[in-house]
Amino acid sequence: MSDQSTNSIAFVASGDIPQSPPPALEAGAVKWMRENLFSSIPNSILTLVALALIYKIGMNTIPWIANGVWNTKSLAECRDVLDGTVAGCFSVLTERWNQLLYGFKYPSDQYWRPNLALVLMLFAAAPVLFFDLPRKLLTFTAVYPFLAFWLIWGGPVITPIVALLGCAAAAWVFNKYGKANFALGFFGGIVAALIVWKITGFAIPESTDGTWLQAVASRDLGGFMLNLMLGVTCVSLSVPLGIALALGRQSSMPLIKGICVVFIEFIRGVPLITLLFVASVMLSYFFPPDATVDLFLRVVIMITMFSAAYIAEVIRGGLAALPKGQYEAADSLGLDYAQAMRLIILPQALKISIPGIVNVAVGLFKDTTLVSVISMFDLVGMIRGPILAATEWNGVYWELLGFAAVLFFIVCYGISQYSQWLERRLATDHR
């Protein structure tokens, strides 16, 4: 058999045939384009139309940005420099940079304070957002709100310390009694905080002169700083409030359930702008002129209530998605209500709710621009009011609003990317 094969077969391969390149139409960029862009006649037409559009938009915007003017003092001067060419007048951004970021009344030699607060916020938020970090960092997170308050508003250092002492007392009482009896710990904590504030409150001086950090009034805050402050404060307050409301709505106690249902349905039935008007305008009718609550606080309360109602419904969806067996399993382990929620139910329900919560958070952050309607000068308020009304800059729209869009996009895209990371990180269901 073997010699037959050596004689009768003319060619025997002595090695591998070298691999030939794939056909030109099936390789590289050509293949990719053929499959993705020109796979059929309608797709080819769409591709060509899209390319033409991209070309047209690019041809208009790229020179507009590239030829932009960055260092003039007014729109008229800008037009002189441009001399007929169509290009952006970005000088308004450089000249009003600080106003766009901090508003027009924050003392300019104090800008380091909000800057520092922002940097510290990243450190404070890190252990909450990335739970692989050491848990001890949470101590700083707990202290941060008081530190940030002092940095941004200034005034006597004793104010945030008193507030911190009250909260610390509440936390201590809750830790001591809350494990055994949740209600006792909760209400005991509130009472303890009130007592501490009452006792130590006298230490707060009336006058704000001669403090380490110059006091800044709430109405002097503005610009993108105000958007960030409102966004961060309201999101971090409305998530716990939303959880409480969602649990309350599922409660078997009619009073608690009733309160939560009425609150959620009322807030969801009213536009945010109406609530803001009530906060800024109507409340001052009911208080004597000097006894009003701080405007920033009023707005924070309103936005927090608004988003808490939405977050509550998102979390209720997460709770409803859990199989009944999970609740029964918790009961069969002998866990009480607080333990069952904390250890079994909420970790699963919150994981399901992440996309919804992030959705509300992004919406809330963008809704903070609504405060411009009640004459607070956030980023959009600064643009629509003072900057466009300045004789030098009246008529500059695209540059300013485009800048605002870029700032908001950066933050919102960041939030969205974080939530996707979080979902991947928590994906324990071996899908």
Partner 1 sequence: MKNSVFFGAMAFAGLAAGAASAGTLDDVKARGELNCGVATGLVGFAAPNAEGEWEGFDVSICRAVAAAVLGDATKVQFVPTTGKTRFTALASGEIDMLARNTTWTFSRDVDLKFDFIGVNYYDGQGFMVPKELGVSSAKELDGATVCVQTGTTTELNLADFFRINGISYEPVPVETNAESQQQYAAGTCDVLTTDASGLAASRTVFADPTAHVILPEIISKEPLGPLVRHGDNEWGDVVRWTLNALVAAEELGVTSANAEEMAAGTSNPEINRLLGSDGSLGAMLGVSDDWAKNAILAVGNYGEVFEANIGEETQIGLSRGLNAQWTDGGLMYSPPFR
Stretch that binds partner 1, among 91-99, 251-259, 304-312, 353-361 (CB under 8 A): 91-99
First to last CA, the chain: 56
User: Smallest gap, in angstroms, from Cβ of residue 153 to partner 1?
Assistant: 17
Q: Does 390 bind partner 1 (CB under 8 A)?
A: yes
Residue of 67, 274, 375, 420 interacting with partner 1 (CB under 8 A): 375
DSSP 69: B
Stretch that binds partner 1, among 53-61, 147-155, 252-260, 389-397 (CB under 8 A): 389-397
Alpha-carbon span 191 to 169, nearest angstrom: 9
User: Smallest gap, in angstroms, from Cβ of residue 372 to partner 1?
Assistant: 8
User: Smallest gap, in angstroms, from Cβ of residue 129 to partner 1?
Assistant: 35
Q: Does 343 bind partner 1 (CB under 8 A)?
A: no
Residue of 37, 125, 138, 388 interacting with partner 1 (CB under 8 A): 388
119 or 282: whose CB is closer to partner 1? Answer: 282
Alpha-carbon span 315 to 245, nearest angstrom: 9
Site string for partner 1, 394-423 (x = CB under 8 A): xx-x--------------------------
Joined tokens for residue 181: 């009896």
The per-residue b/e assignment along 139-159, b for 16 or more CB within 10 angstroms, e otherwise, is eebebbbbbbbbbbbbbbebb
The Cα-based distances of 399 to 92, 123, 172, 238, 368 in angstroms read 8, 33, 52, 34, 21
Stretch that binds partner 1, among 7-15, 198-206, 233-241, 391-399 (CB under 8 A): 391-399
Whether the CA torsion 225, 226, 229, 231 is positive or negative: it is: negative
Q: Does 298 bind partner 1 (CB under 8 A)?
A: no
Residue of 72, 88, 91, 95 interacting with partner 1 (CB under 8 A): 95
**Residue that is written with structure tokens 């608690």 in the block:** 256
DSSP 253: -
Which residue type does 28 have?
G
Q: Does 104 bind partner 1 (CB under 8 A)?
A: yes
The per-residue b/e assignment along 352-377, b for 16 or more CB within 10 angstroms, e otherwise, is bbbebbbbbbbebbebbbbbbebebb
Stretch that binds partner 1, among 42-50, 357-365, 375-383, 405-413 (CB under 8 A): 375-383
What number of CA atoms fall less than 13 Å from residue 43's CA on the CB side? 8
Q: Does 68 bind partner 1 (CB under 8 A)?
A: no
Q: Does 389 bind partner 1 (CB under 8 A)?
A: yes
Q: Does 87 bind partner 1 (CB under 8 A)?
A: no
Joined tokens for residue 347: 């970790």
User: Smallest gap, in angstroms, from Cβ of residue 289 to partner 1?
Assistant: 4
Task: Kindly determine how many residues on this chain lie close enough to bind partner 1 according to the rule CB under 8 A.
Answer: 37
Spatial neighbors of 401 by CB under 8 A, at least 6 apart, are: 383
289 or 323: whose CB is closer to partner 1? Answer: 289
The Cα-based distances of 291 to 93, 277, 284, 294, 295 in angstroms read 38, 18, 9, 9, 12
281 or 410: whose CB is closer to partner 1? Answer: 281
Residues from 205 through 234 that contact partner 1 (CB under 8 A): 219
Stretch that binds partner 1, among 5-13, 59-67, 185-193, 380-388 (CB under 8 A): 380-388
Joined tokens for residue 348: 């699963």
Residue of 387, 399, 403, 408 interacting with partner 1 (CB under 8 A): 387
Q: Does 5 bind partner 1 (CB under 8 A)?
A: no
Joined tokens for residue 52: 């033409």
Whether the CA torsion 423, 425, 426, 427 is positive or negative: it is: positive
Contact 216, 110 (CB under 8 A): yes
Stretch that binds partner 1, among 59-67, 121-129, 303-311, 387-395 (CB under 8 A): 387-395
Whether the CA torsion 255, 257, 258, 263 is positive or negative: it is: positive
**Residue that is written with structure tokens 């969806």 in the block:** 317
Contact 304, 237 (CB under 8 A): yes
User: Smallest gap, in angstroms, from Cβ of residue 168 to partner 1?
Assistant: 36
Stretch that binds partner 1, among 236-244, 374-382, 402-410, 421-429 (CB under 8 A): 374-382
Residues from 277 through 296 that contact partner 1 (CB under 8 A): 277, 280-282, 284-290
Residues in contact with partner 1 by CB under 8 A are 75-76, 79, 95-96, 99, 104-105, 108, 219, 277, 280-282, 284-290, 373-375, 377, 381, 384-391, 394-395, 397
